[in-house]
Structure formats: C-alpha cells, structure tokens
A and B are shown apart, each in its own frame.
Chain A
C-alpha cells in the first residue's frame, strides 16, 4: 500500500477536484498499480474510487457469447449517440479455452474500474468438470453477493398477468453454486450446498436495506427448510434476525414450491423476495417469464466494492446470435442501471 500512499499525496496536489474524496483510497495511474491492488485483501472497507478521469467514466465491457457481442455493440452505439461520458474497456473471454487467464484478465479489469457490463459467457457441458463456469468465477472472485432483479409489468407488453412489481434479491456467491462436487464411490456423486451465517446475514441485510430505500412494505424469504433443516433453516433464521431490526417492513417466509405455484397464479401478492442461490435462479426465471420473457428484464450484481450489470436471466442466446432478432431491451435497461450506479 506504500505506492498507494505515495500517489495519494501526489493526487492531493494535482487534483483539487478530488479534495472531497480524501476519505477513499485513490486509484490513480491504474495500470501500474493493478498488481498491488489484486493482492489487496478486500475487507470491504477500501472502496475503490470510481474510475473517473476528466469527467468520463471507464467501464469494463465483457461481450461474452451468443447475442452478447451484438447487444453490447448496440449499447455502445446508443451511448455514443447520447453522448454518455462512459468509455468502455473491452475484455474478451473465450469460453472454449480451459485456462483461466481470460477470466482473470476480466476480473482484473473490473477491479480496476469498479463497474462492468457483461454478456453471458457460455459454459460448455462437453468440457471437463474441472472447467468452472466463468460467470460463477467472476461472481465469487469479486464477491458480488447480491443479485438484484426488478420484474415489472411493462406497459405495451401483453402478458397473462398484469401489475407485477417484484424485486428479487438472490444470494449470488454460495448455496448450490459452490461447484464443490466429488465422486467418492463410483456412480455416486455428492454435491455440496453451502450456507453460511455471514453470507446469509449479509444478503438479508442488503434485502431489507434495499426494501427500506425503495419504500417497499414486505420482504418474503423463500426457502425449503422443511427438508433442508440446517441449511435453509440457518438462512431463514438469519433473515428473521435481520427482520427484527426493521420493524417498518413486514417479513414472512414461504416454501419454494408454494412460492412458484403462487407466482403462476397470483404474482401480485409478492413485493420483495430474498432467497439463496438456486431458488433465486428458478424464481427469477419464472418472474421474467411472467413479465414478458428474457429479453425484457435487466439484472445487477452488487458487491461491496464492485457492480456488474447484465441481463437478468443470463442467457447466451446462441440460437439467435447474429440474426438481428434479439431483444435489446434487457441489455439497454441494464446499461441504464449502470448509469444510475455511476450517478
């Protein structure tokens, strides 16, 4: 951190504009300091300052596979046209390679810039199980613990259900997506689903804070604690603990199977929902289907220090790639969320 303090003092002299930012550690001359920064233990107290130089932000762009590249080109086009002061630093990730260099480069770029916009990176089933999902690697390395998806019925889109307004907050780093599997006995595979108290408290806190900020009345925790008593039981307990600190918001819980059934019959009853990783995946896809499909809903992954924006349902859309028929709405709304994040 010695180099940091050195440039810190320099920056104080050079940029009076940044005087107000003395509270944060300063990221100046980003490239030379990346190696230091990568090894920095992100305890969450050092929030990197925005990569904003001369009034223009730099945002990492990961095109991904399928419809990702074409949609992101459109985003860039729209940004240029609207004179948005955002520069994109494009990092390609090749999903066909087995080495993790590509994704590590992308992670480094995001650490540098703090914000990213990405398309989905394909996870090929045919490759060896040791090749981890690139998207998952990204989320866990950057500790993007909250995936927020706001499903709203859009006017002009005809759907079977009307007046849906659900905010889904999904734990993004643990749960069933731990990628910890082993085959101790041949023919018997054990997959580990990890639930920790810290992460559960963190996501519950995030959910309630967000609900309070947005003026929401109710938070529903989705779980399967009747079967996974310890795991989801712990998650539920953490949610209840956090709920007690927010008396203005009602808290209730629902089992995931009942939740999905209620979602297809009466989705208007839900307000804010918080849940572990896999249920979040299923429930968010159901909600996306209810409001009109994967082409309409943007998603955001927030961590303490970083934010990555993408389409909510994370589809690669291989079958419609390069045919000029993909719906750009989700990606464009995601870029709007990014602009909101950049204030």
Chain B
C-alpha cells in the first residue's frame, strides 16, 4: 500500500523512469489495472534502490526454503524486499490466488514455492499454479539443466536448455463428459502462441550463443496440433540462419536423453512434453533439488524450482535440498539486473554443492538444509565484499 503511494512519488523523483510508459496513481487505478490489457510494461518496483518482489511460500518444503532465501538475502544485504502472499491450497475460493496474482502484477517479479493441487477436491477446482501461469501469461518456462561439478551422476557434461510453452497445450483444463464414462480432454495448440514460444527459444539461443534448437513433438500422431507447432518452429527458424534447427519425436527424444543426453543443446516444445522432458533432464543432472526454473511472460517473471515439487513428505524435516530454490533466486536477481549479488550467491551455492559431505538426502548424503545454507553463507562471507559481519 505504501508501495502504491511511493510509485506516484517515484514518478516525480526518478527521471530514470521517464523513458518508459509508467503506471501512475496505482491505488486509484487498481481495479482498472486488473481489467486492462497489458500493453504497458510495468516499471520495476524499485524504490530508493530496493526492489520489491512477491514471495509465495506455497506448500510442502516451499515455506522453509523461502525462509532460507530470505535469510540468505538479508545476510548478503541484497536490496530486495519480499512481499509475502500466502495461498491456501485447501480453500476452494480463488481469492487467495487472485491476491497473489495482483501482487505479482504490482511488483512484476515473484519467487514461489509449489502450491499443491489436491486430487480429492472436485474437478472444478483448477490448479493454482496453472491459474497463475495463464492469468499472467507466463508463456515461456525456461529450465537450464547442467551437470554440476561435485554431483556424481551417471551422465556427464549435460548442458541442455529446455524452453517449454507454459500456457496452452494439454494444460488447458478443458475437459467434458458428454457421454457418461467417456471423457474428452482438449489439447489446444494455437499459431500465435507457438510462434511466440519459438521466437523466444531462438532469441534465447542467440543471446546465449547456442548452436542448435530441437523441437520436440508428436506430429506423426497429432498431425494438426503438433504439426502446427512444428510448422511455426520451422518458420521462426528460417529467420535465424546461424542456428541449426531440427525436430525429434518425443518418444525418441526421451530415449536419446537417457542414453546420450550430450547431443541436445536447446529444446523447445509444447506443455506436456516439456513437463516430461524437463523432469527427465532434472533426473539426469542430479534430481529435483538442483535445478531452478523460470517462467517468463511479456511483463512478468516468476521463479521457482524447475520440477515444481511440493515435497510434502520431506516438509519441515530439514532435509530438503535448498540448491534449486537458491539458484532460482539467483535467476531472479539476474532478472532484476543485480548481477553482482547473483554471481556472489551462485558462487557460494555451487561451491557448497561440490562438497560431498554437505549433500542432502536427495543427493545421497546426510546433510541438513540449515547446514547447507550456513555453508553457503560462510562461502559468501569469505569471498564477497558486502556481507553482514556476524
């Protein structure tokens, strides 16, 4: 609320924002904002040099990991304030998630834990995570799977960037039962979204200096649907002659991934295949506790663990691996252009992960979460210039 007042002040105080279309008098126009089509890029929620980021703890291991992130940020004096929005997954009303969405619209950036989707609730209860992604139009899910030094896996030198369409495909939540006992689920593929995700994939590949983009599909069976996706990818590929483009059917892709994952560079695919392939790749580099994920839209960015696990069975046991969440927070800092802090924390995290005796249970060790975080803080203190002296 003070944020909104300050925004109008910031308009006057910060000439930095004069180049961008800005939202002024946010408080009065709040309702309008929810209904307006977002053609304006919201300015960063940066007041007095400090950013405000929405934090959604979620369920399971989310809250404890989010606490560790805050602890670490405080320790490193990162100029980020968290606006915490709790989403209760057991409530059937959508108020909680709408509040969270509003907070993200206001701040532009969020860090979230996974919100559980209870199977026992009726089908009209939509997945909260899905609602968030579609309302904010976070169309690209980017996951960078890299073999980390110090983590022993069966495959080495894996470096795959997975770009997954995040809003349509099989996750449309459109199902109906016209005849009892026969359920039809709709999988939607649109030209605009396919072009958009392909564009994003190629742009990212170019920005990161990647050589090859592989589209994953099942167009031999879903000729119109995945055929359209493939066509859009080919169209976009023609505009990037320096990047090699090829396509592979999803079953062959998964088989190649378990035998020779080093052949893949950047992969782009629709929603469901993205889910499966990203989980396979996460498994290849060491498991769900290591890989961060980012969801990008035109205007918003939400960061979370790559494989979106709630981890209910290990919640509050102090055994969860905080690496994924911490690396996600580094991605967040990079997005906020706080590169120095991001590099500092990332260095600390990677040096801790390479110490086998600190590995948590998912990596085959016996370390606890708090030990790992403490070790990261020590690493940061010994290398970084700006830390709290404790």
Give the B-binding residues of A (Cβ under 8 A). 123, 125, 129, 133, 136, 160-161, 176-177, 179, 181-183, 186-198, 224-231, 233-234, 256-258, 260-265, 278, 281-282, 284-286, 288-290, 293-294, 313, 315
Contacts and interface: CB of A to CB of B under 8 A. Distances in A.
B182 to A, nearest CB: 5
Nearest to B116: A226
Nearest to A279: B276
Interface stretch (B69-77, B100-108, B185-193, B297-305): B185-193
B interface bracket (residues with beta carbon within 8 Å of A): 35 or more
B254 A160 contact: no
Contact of A313 (B250, B255, B283): B255
B219 interface: yes
A53 to B, nearest CB: 38
Most buried by A among B181, B228, B255, B278: B255
B258 interface: yes
A226 B143 CA distance: 21
Chain B facing A: main interface SS = mixed
A233 B176 CA distance: 12
Contacts of A285: 251-252, 254-255
Contacts of B230: 125
Given A181-B223, A181-B225, A282-B254, A194 B276 contact: no
Contact of B279 (A189, A192, A225, A258): A258
B182 A194 contact: yes
Interface stretch (B8-16, B167-175, B205-213): B167-175
Given A181-B225, A195-B182, A230-B123, 6 more contacts: A125-B223, A189-B228, A191-B225, A197-B182, A286-B257, A294-B255
B152 to A, nearest CB: 12
Nearest to A177: B221
B43 interface: no
A178 to B, nearest CB: 9
A227 B170 contact: yes
B91 interface: no
Contacts of A136: 221
B127 interface: yes
The 3 A-B pairs with the shortest beta carbon distances in the complex, nearest first, are A197-B181, A187-B191, A264-B283
Contact of A195 (B183, B222, B255, B259): B183
Contacts of A233: 119, 123
Contact of B224 (A183, A193, A256, A281): A183
B275 A257 contact: yes
Contacts of A263: 258, 280, 283
